[in-house]
């Protein structure tokens, strides 16, 4: 059965944990990385024998299709989260690790930006509610 080596898992872990405000937890039995409490990447280690050893991460809005079309050997539409714009980045097909790191870093940036946007929206909503009293 195809599985990620410990070296590969550690390499992904090192990339993820080098990013600000990142924590790691097991989710569905697999390493998953969070920024500000929100998931930005997880390891897919031949999930349900799908043959993919990958980092599954979010992508900027509208980027998923272009990334998959540009690199179909390396990037795929992952089950469950693909509908939300996420991508699967295969770790065992020879994609340069600088590119893998860049895609993970981009996922972290997208998640962090969404958190900042929600925080600003929440602050504005609380201020408006306070003014209405």
Is 59 within the bounds of a domain? yes
Is residue 45 assigned to a domain?
A: yes
Q: pLDDT tens digits for 93-126?
A: 999 999 999 999 999 999 999 888 877 765 555 5
Print the domain residue range for 92: 6-132
The predicted structure's pLDDT at residue 41: 98
Structure tokens at 28: 């569905």
Residue 1 falls inside a structural domain: no
CATH number of the domain to which 25 belongs: 3.90.1150.30
pTM score, whole prediction: 0.86
Please tell me the total count of domains within the chain.
1
User: What pLDDT sits at residue 88?
Assistant: 98
CA distance 97 to 94: 8
pLDDT in tens, 4-16: 899 999 999 999 9
| Side-by-side strand order, sheet with 30-35 | 22-27, 30-35, 38-45, 53-57, 87-90, 75-76
Residue pair 70/27 in contact by the 8 Å Cβ criterion:
no
Q: How far apart are CA 108 and CA 114, in angstroms?
A: 10
């Amino acid at each position: 059965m195809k599985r990620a080596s410990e070296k590969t898992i550690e390499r992904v872990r090192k990339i993820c944990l080098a990013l600000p405000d990142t924590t790691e937890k097991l989710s569905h039995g697999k390493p998953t990385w969070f920024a500000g409490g929100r998931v930005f990447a997880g390891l897919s280690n031949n999930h349900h024998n799908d043959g993919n050893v990958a980092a599954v991460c979010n992508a900027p809005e509208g980027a998923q299709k272009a990334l998959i079309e540009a690199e179909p050997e390396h990037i795929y539409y992952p089950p469950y989260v693909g509908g939300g714009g996420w991508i699967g980045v295969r770790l065992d097909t020879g994609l340069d690790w600088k590119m893998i790191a860049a895609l993970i870093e981009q996922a972290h940036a997208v998640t962090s930006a969404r958190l900042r946007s929600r925080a600003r929206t929440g602050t504005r909503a609380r201020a408006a509610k306070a003014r209405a009293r």
